[in-house]
Amino acid sequence: MNHLRLKALTIALPLAALLGCATVQVTRVATGGPETAYELEGTSIEQLETEAQRLCPHGHDIKRQSHNYQRLANDQLYPVRLWDRITGNLNTPTNSKAQMAVVCKAPPP
């Protein structure tokens, strides 16, 4: 039974980590008009663009966007950095944040 728990844990942890990285926070914004507007936050502009296309099926206008990407090389313990260097693992930690404000276009008449 303990072997099955260990196997399930080795599958569940990486999956949970991947799902946690792929989240986009969406906030609906009141515009005072008939348009629907959203503020999106995530880790990449491409990820936010995909979410904006899903939220606005008739297209959207981008009002502002920003993306900050910074690699943090020394926030892992030395043995982990060494192992990454030996194995050629390029999965280094990053501090990446993207923001986008979009206004959805109205459907064609």
What single letter denotes the amino acid at residue 34?
Answer: P
Question: 3-state DSSP helix/strand/coil percent for the chain, to nearest 5?
Answer: 40, 30, 30
The answer to whether the CB of 51 falls within 8 A of the CB of 74 is: no
How large a percentage of the chain has pLDDT more than 90?
A: 39
State the Cα–Cα distance between residues 44 and 77, nearest whole angstrom.
26
Instruction: Tell me the per-residue pLDDT of 26-45, one tens digit each, with 9 for 90 and over.
Output: 999 987 778 899 999 998 89
State the Cα–Cα distance between residues 30 and 21, nearest whole angstrom.
28
Instruction: Tell me the per-residue pLDDT of 46-68, one tens digit each, with 9 for 90 and over.
Output: 999 999 999 999 999 999 999 88
What single letter denotes the amino acid at residue 64?
Answer: R
pLDDT at 17: 47
As to burial, measured by CB atoms within 10 angstroms (0-12 exposed, 13-18 middle, 19+ buried), residue 68 is: exposed
Supply the mean pLDDT for the chain: 78
DSSP-assigned beta bridge partners for residue 96: 69
- Is it the case that residue 13 has pLDDT exceeding 80? no
Q: Could you count the other beta carbons within 10 Å of the beta carbon of residue 28?
A: 10
pLDDT at 55: 95
